[in-house]
Amino acid sequence: MSSAGLYPVTSPVPEDQQGSVSRGEALFTGRTLFHNQGPSCISCHSITGLPFPNGGTLGPDLTHTYAKLGPTGTQAAMQTLYFPTMIPVYRDHQLVPQEQADMVAYFKATAAEAKSQEQWATQILILAAFVLGIIFVALTAFFWRKRVLSVRRALVARATGQGVRS
């Protein structure tokens, strides 16, 4: 049995057909249903730029898909959806050419957006840790301020001989 009969390939997207980033995002998130009734991508995948919880965790994060596969590879992936977990799910629910173009446009846009967001992620994390550290030190100083003084008094008393009686 040939693999061509098992995994139908839809027709490629015509060169003049432009994809829409907003339609691609709507398809990815499930706000717009796929023409052939396939499940939305967000049910298994996540991608940068979506609000929390930002997608599923069954499949990989697709933020850098376009950068990894390039335009031709991303287009081929949208035509075949030839991934072991996706084959049974999309076998009878292939994407139509316009959906393919929209998804490619969305992946291209998220790859560019991810670069600008990633550069701030580390700095925000460091700032949050610094602020939380200051808050912790301030709370500790406030709630245990008398503890430090009582320990100091006992040490001073013992050192001067006032607190020691034999």
Q: Which of 73, 68, 41 is nearest to 57 (CA)?
A: 41
Q: How confident is the prediction along the chain (166 residues), in pLDDT tens digits per residue?
A: 444 444 444 455 455 568 899 999 999 999 999 999 999 999 999 888 777 777 888 889 898 889 899 999 999 999 888 888 888 888 888 999 999 999 999 999 888 776 555 556 678 888 999 999 999 999 988 887 777 677 777 788 788 876 555 5
pTM above 0.75?
A: no
- H-helix segments, 7-161: 21-29, 65-80, 86-90, 97-143, 145-160
Stated length of the chain: 166
* Dist. CA 156–CA 18, nearest whole Å: 81
Report the SS3 class of residue 9.
coil
- H-helix segments, 12-52: 21-29
* Dist. CA 166–CA 29, nearest whole Å: 79
